[in-house]
Amino acid sequence: MQQLLDEILDEVRPLIGQGKVASYIPALAGVPANQLGIAVYSNEGQLYCAGDGRTPFSIQSISKVFSLVQAIQHSGEDIWQRLGHEPSGQPFNSLVQLEFERGVPRNPFINAGALVICDINQSRFAAPALSMRDFARRLSGNHYLVADEVVARSEYQHRARNAAAAYLMQSFGNFHNDVEAVLRSYFHHCALRMNCVDLALAFSFLANDGVSPHSGETVLSARQTKQVNALMATSGLYDEAGNFAYRVGLPGKSGVGGGIVAVVPGRFTVCVWSPELNESGNSVAGMAALEKLSERIDWSIF
Amino acid sequence: MQQLLDEILDEVRPLIGQGKVASYIPALAGVPANQLGIAVYSNEGQLYCAGDGRTPFSIQSISKVFSLVQAIQHSGEDIWQRLGHEPSGQPFNSLVQLEFERGVPRNPFINAGALVICDINQSRFAAPALSMRDFARRLSGNHYLVADEVVARSEYQHRARNAAAAYLMQSFGNFHNDVEAVLRSYFHHCALRMNCVDLALAFSFLANDGVSPHSGETVLSARQTKQVNALMATSGLYDEAGNFAYRVGLPGKSGVGGGIVAVVPGRFTVCVWSPELNESGNSVAGMAALEKLSERIDWSIF
Amino acid sequence: MQQLLDEILDEVRPLIGQGKVASYIPALAGVPANQLGIAVYSNEGQLYCAGDGRTPFSIQSISKVFSLVQAIQHSGEDIWQRLGHEPSGQPFNSLVQLEFERGVPRNPFINAGALVICDINQSRFAAPALSMRDFARRLSGNHYLVADEVVARSEYQHRARNAAAAYLMQSFGNFHNDVEAVLRSYFHHCALRMNCVDLALAFSFLANDGVSPHSGETVLSARQTKQVNALMATSGLYDEAGNFAYRVGLPGKSGVGGGIVAVVPGRFTVCVWSPELNESGNSVAGMAALEKLSERIDWSIF
Amino acid sequence: MQQLLDEILDEVRPLIGQGKVASYIPALAGVPANQLGIAVYSNEGQLYCAGDGRTPFSIQSISKVFSLVQAIQHSGEDIWQRLGHEPSGQPFNSLVQLEFERGVPRNPFINAGALVICDINQSRFAAPALSMRDFARRLSGNHYLVADEVVARSEYQHRARNAAAAYLMQSFGNFHNDVEAVLRSYFHHCALRMNCVDLALAFSFLANDGVSPHSGETVLSARQTKQVNALMATSGLYDEAGNFAYRVGLPGKSGVGGGIVAVVPGRFTVCVWSPELNESGNSVAGMAALEKLSERIDWSIF
């Protein structure tokens, strides 16, 4: 496995230069483009890591899985009264669909849906940002995880589109807490810094019927675990979920920091990272690495 | 297994009466509502059948898988220059998305995408409707399959919305053959009559890496097979694909005749049928039966 | 007036070269671009003509006024059960709005609305194309008007988008006659050839409370006349109606043949023609000429 | 004239009960429904008033004309770099169109456009709300006009949809000042209380080539005046501008407080008020009264 990971990174490294590092906030635009890392964690506890797999990066939308899992833990099926679980067929930050569907977001992985999940968590937790950070620390076993305050502040300053979505949902009665407060929590989640190893460990309960292989903690029931994986499979890669299923064939979740986590149910968790993105906001080299990995060792669930 | 199927049908039978038989053409509206059947076919060749599993019905949109597989067989990856492989996030017959995306349908399972696939096949086959029928006969091993001419004609008379989609694509240059001719082929495909056993056998190559377990024919490569399953998983159930993944967790394809086929990769193919539909156009009892089956014997791919 | 018209043509002639002649069908694309004509007809019967004001051209969408007036003559207010009288806020051939508003077009001057008007007329007249041609002959006093059969046929061959709109309306139950037959009538209307003088005379009843100043025929009641003018003022120039009101301040109707007719209620009718169009499909030099005319002699109704 | 106004009020009074008083904020919902007033002011200085024509009401969207005129006064044609002058074809508070057109509102009378105008004025005036109030005082000759602070505060509390629009425009770079500050100004404008006489006098410059007949002040140039009237004619009555042109035939502007002002260029200004609204947000009795008035004394500009 270790050799395979090294090989694959060598094969996809030439793709660096074909994408664009996220630039909507200065703090992200400054990330050096030529980084590439990967980590694979097996349900038996073996960990493989290659390239820049131990360099922390901004997890961005990958945080939406942590928030969702927290919401499922305390509210279960009730959350689906506030949002759907269908793929969106629209760019991740479009308001058009949200208006037509009267403020009910399509799924928890588009921004509007993640904001509703944060709104649900805001009603539950005294300090949602800290609560989520501690959850990520426990899941990854890394107790030094912190959010990048500069990134969080910068995202807040560029909050216009997310604020528009939140206010639109509020106008339909589907947002219960103060918009500004929820946005601050949301951007803190996004600004959490983790590396590939952290993320592979943190997501490993999703490959193991809800039980974390390294800590033994039962995070979700087996059925809930399958449901989260199903959501990632149909909606986890912005408007490229279909392409990811077609090319890679695994449940996964990406972020504009360049990370992609994927789950091989019953076997492995993998996280790949490279900051340059394609037009859909997914890591160019990351997508290619996962496709190659899936082909070589037949990881597709299909 | 036989006992399990009988039990499940008994459990979901009370749902009959909660849905509505498709009524957009008289020939379908007349189908008796209280029918319910299931068939399961294993990769080892065991066949289980319960209820009305041997009563033929109109396969409707399930035919879109046959057309797609034919197109992949002769044109491979080239077909993706004419349509996408992303979930649509819109009702299956919406023109809005098609206009915004300039005549390129989102995927082969919405009507517009299936029409493009038929247009591709129309350019290839002298008699596309017969060609597809023969393909279904071979895949199912049932050489008596025929289309219901009354249904095909009636669908053609009510072709307005599909005609609108085809002409819209033609206006964007994404339709090459005569619209009326392709519509006739398309409605013949939809009007094919098959029963649950036929469909379980016909789809079994998708559970077996592309090789039909009963005939030994290699229909698709292993990789192409995974891709078709991925497409069904993200887009196979109209605008309920996310819900099907969430509740059942299998690649599947439904039709407004009330049939749903699902694939358990490496193990089984299953077809369930009951004519009453929910608001998304999927069989009410069929969805419930597959959900129970998936829960009981842990079939979810996630 | 004659001198003013000559001056204005001289002033706007340099704009020729800044637009584009309609090119969606070859028969229109071949029209020489450097033509420019104008005609003004007063309610007292004075006629002024300058430039190429006697060269016939394809009236295209200007025909929509003739069809509408015919429909009002035989069906009055009933027509508004089939379409609206609000501006559309969308390009003239968009299907998006039509689908959202369930097959009821916004107004009689977008293509979908004109098709519904043709459908209404098709139910009334044995030979709608001839009936409309004769109507235009009578209104203009020119008994030699004919449609250009080459243009009509060519438009029919490129009917895809209009066919899509008609079939979409049929799918909502808002189209009663055979789509192909109505499209043939529609394209015959569009292909009628008239010159600026013909059109100024033909529209003059709209400046004169419904009575044609030259023939004495009462075409519409005074109230109906105001209503048609109101419709032209809010919807007559594709998605540039607001700009036309802002710059020119008159009810008007344009066509992609490069003609624009405008009405000064109680006083004049004017028609200007130059084939090059702006991005909204309106004559570049024609718009400019009307703006100058409106400024110089204070014709704005506002 | 006085007698005519009395008659018309008697004729339309039975319509009271058929509409609904605006209820999106409690302060408006409490307005007694059975009020009905009218005022007509001639360019020669005659004032006619009937019914509750001297009872003040919340002018709401009628204030958009005052803001627009202020913006034209200090920025002229430059404002059209920030918004359009086309009718919108969408409900007045829809975000769909705003997103498609990348944050550039269609016209100054939909909410998004009025917010951009307020943003322009916010950059210019130290205290925009006071500045606009003083402008309305001067135009109406009533120096006791004030905004209803309870209404302004209540609207601010229910700002969600307008906030969504403002943030969406900010995300496209088309909003320069603090969103919350501009919203406060905007709601203060809307909460201004005026009666029919105030509004007839305040708008009278629009009937008189830009010069206020009672104060002699030149508010706009003659050409700018025509342009404002053109904007009201194509976009002044929410998504019923076409219907108002069709039925009444005058430039006008309505508000959800139940007021409608209309301009008869060169002759009169009229304001009618009755709180019950139709589905488009326009006064039911007010529309009917203006239609009757327009029919009886032939005021239509068409």
Residue C204: active-site member: no
Model confidence at C199: pLDDT above 90? yes
Specify the pLDDT at position B94: 78
Strand order across the beta sheet in which C252-254 lies = C47-51, C37-42, C268-273, C259-264, C252-254
Specify the pLDDT at position C93: 64
Residue-wise pLDDT tens digits, D273-299:
999 999 999 999 999 999 999 989 888
Specify the pLDDT at position B298: 85
- Shortest distance between the Cα of B266 and any Cα of chain A, in A, equals 9
To the question of domain A2-58+194-296 being in CATH 3.50.50.60, the answer is no
Closest among C8, C70, C83, C79 to C38, alpha carbons compared: C8
* Mutation for testing the B interface, residue in A72, A77, A234, A253 having most B CBs under 10 Å: A234
For D130-161, the DSSP string reads: HHHHHHHHHHHT-TT--B-HHHHHHHHHT-HH
Q: E strands along C52-159, which residues?
A: 57-58
Q: Which of B212-221, B292-301, C243-252 has the lowest mean pLDDT?
A: B292-301
At residue D93 the predicted structure's pLDDT band, cuts being 50, 70 and 90, is low
Residues of C in contact with B164 (CB under 8 A): 95, 163-168, 170-171
- Shortest distance between the Cα of A171 and any Cα of chain D, in A, equals 5
- Shortest distance between the Cα of A264 and any Cα of chain B, in A, equals 8
Residue C186: active-site member: yes
Identify the burial level of D44 via C-beta atoms within 10 angstroms of its C-beta, where 0-12 means exposed, 13-18 middle and 19 or more buried.
exposed
Specify the pLDDT at position C18: 95
Question: Which of C225, C233, C246 faces D245 most closely, judged by CB atoms?
Answer: C233
* Domain D2-58+193-296 homologous superfamily, CATH: DD-peptidase/beta-lactamase superfamily (3.40.710.10)
Residue B186: active-site member: yes
Q: Is B61 annotated as a binding residue?
A: yes
Q: Which residues of chain A have pLDDT under 50?
A: none
Closest among A20, A6, A8 to A277, alpha carbons compared: A20
A-B contacts at Cβ under 8 angstroms: 103
Specify the pLDDT at position A99: 85
The ipTM of this complex is 0.92
Q: What are the catalytic residues of A?
A: 61, 64, 186, 238, 256
Identify the burial level of B39 via C-beta atoms within 10 angstroms of its C-beta, where 0-12 means exposed, 13-18 middle and 19 or more buried.
buried
Model confidence at D223: pLDDT above 70? yes
Residue-wise pLDDT tens digits, C278-299:
999 999 999 999 999 998 988 8
Chains touching chain D, criterion 3+ CB pairs below 8 Å: A, C
Residues of B in contact with A234 (CB under 8 A): 87, 233-234, 241-242, 245
Residue-wise pLDDT tens digits, C102-126:
899 999 999 999 999 999 999 999 9
DSSP-based three-state secondary structure for A95: coil
Specify the pLDDT at position B99: 85
Give the separation between CA B64 and CA B236, rounded to whole angstroms.
Answer: 10
Answer yes or no: are the C-beta atoms of B255 and B61 closer than 8 Å. yes
The residue of chain B nearest to residue C96, with distances taken between CA atoms, is B96
In the set B182, B186, B270, B283, the catalytic residue is B186
Phi first, then psi: give them for residue C249, nearest 5 degrees: 75, 35
Instruction: Determine the average pLDDT of the residues in C192-207.
Output: 98
Give the separation between CA D229 and CA D207, rounded to whole angstroms.
Answer: 9
Classify domain C63-190 by CATH number: 3.40.710.10
The residue of chain D nearest to residue C263, with distances taken between CA atoms, is D302
Specify the pLDDT at position B121: 98
Specify the pLDDT at position D88: 87
Q: Are strands C193-194 and D47-51 parallel, antiparallel or unpaired?
A: unpaired
> What percentage of residues in chain D have a pLDDT greater than 90?
91
CB atoms within 10 A of CB C216: 7
* Residue found under tokens 């000064």: C264
Q: Do D95 and A165 touch (CB under 8 A)?
A: no
For chain A, give every domain's residue range.
Answer: 2-58+194-296, 61-190
At residue C99 the predicted structure's pLDDT band, cuts being 50, 70 and 90, is confident
At residue C168 the predicted structure's pLDDT band, cuts being 50, 70 and 90, is very high
> What percentage of residues in chain A have a pLDDT greater than 90?
91
At residue D196 the predicted structure's pLDDT band, cuts being 50, 70 and 90, is very high
- Shortest distance between the Cα of A297 and any Cα of chain D, in A, equals 44
The residue of chain A nearest to residue D170, with distances taken between CA atoms, is A160
CB-based burial, C42-71: b 16+ in 10 Å, e otherwise: bbeeeebbbbbbeebbbbbbbbbbbbbbbb
Question: Which of D99, D166, D179 faces A95 most closely, judged by CB atoms?
Answer: D99
Specify the pLDDT at position A234: 95
What percent of the residues of chain A are helix, what percent strand, and what percent coil, each to the nearest 5? 50, 15, 35
Give the separation between CA C286 and CA C256, rounded to whole angstroms.
Answer: 12
**Alpha helices, H only, A141-214:** 149-157, 160-171, 179-190, 196-203
Closest among A274, A262, A269 to A211, alpha carbons compared: A269
Question: Which of B159, B160, B168 faces C95 most closely, judged by CB atoms?
Answer: B168
Closest among A196, A176, A169 to A57, alpha carbons compared: A196
Answer yes or no: are the C-beta atoms of A145 and A205 closer than 8 Å. no
Give the separation between CA A189 and CA A60, rounded to whole angstroms.
Answer: 7
At residue C95 the predicted structure's pLDDT band, cuts being 50, 70 and 90, is confident
Select the more confidently predicted residue: C261 or B297. C261
Residue D238: active-site member: yes
At residue D238 the predicted structure's pLDDT band, cuts being 50, 70 and 90, is confident
Answer yes or no: are the C-beta atoms of A215 and A223 closer than 8 Å. no
CB atoms within 10 A of CB B118: 30
Residue-wise pLDDT tens digits, B12-63:
999 999 999 999 888 889 999 999 999 999 999 999 999 999 999 999 999 9
Model confidence at D42: pLDDT above 60? yes
Instruction: Determine the average pLDDT of the residues in C119-135.
Output: 96
Q: DSSP state, C201?
A: H
Classify domain B2-60+193-296 by CATH number: 3.40.710.10
To the question of domain B61-190 being in CATH 3.40.50.150, the answer is no
Specify the pLDDT at position A91: 66
Residue-wise pLDDT tens digits, A87-96:
987 765 678 8
DSSP-based three-state secondary structure for D61: helix
CB atoms within 10 A of CB C222: 14
Chains touching chain B, criterion 3+ CB pairs below 8 Å: A, C
Instruction: Determine the average pLDDT of the residues in D151-157.
Output: 95
At residue C91 the predicted structure's pLDDT band, cuts being 50, 70 and 90, is low
Answer yes or no: are the C-beta atoms of B294 and B54 closer than 8 Å. no
Give the separation between CA C155 and CA B175, rounded to whole angstroms.
Answer: 18
For the packed helices D222-235 and D63-75, what is the interaxial angle rounded to 10 degrees? 140
Instruction: Determine the average pLDDT of the residues in B240-259.
Output: 96
Query: What H or E segment, with its residue span, contains residue A138?
Result: helix A128-140
Cα–Cα distances in Å, from B35 out to A273, B1, B51, B52? 52, 21, 8, 6
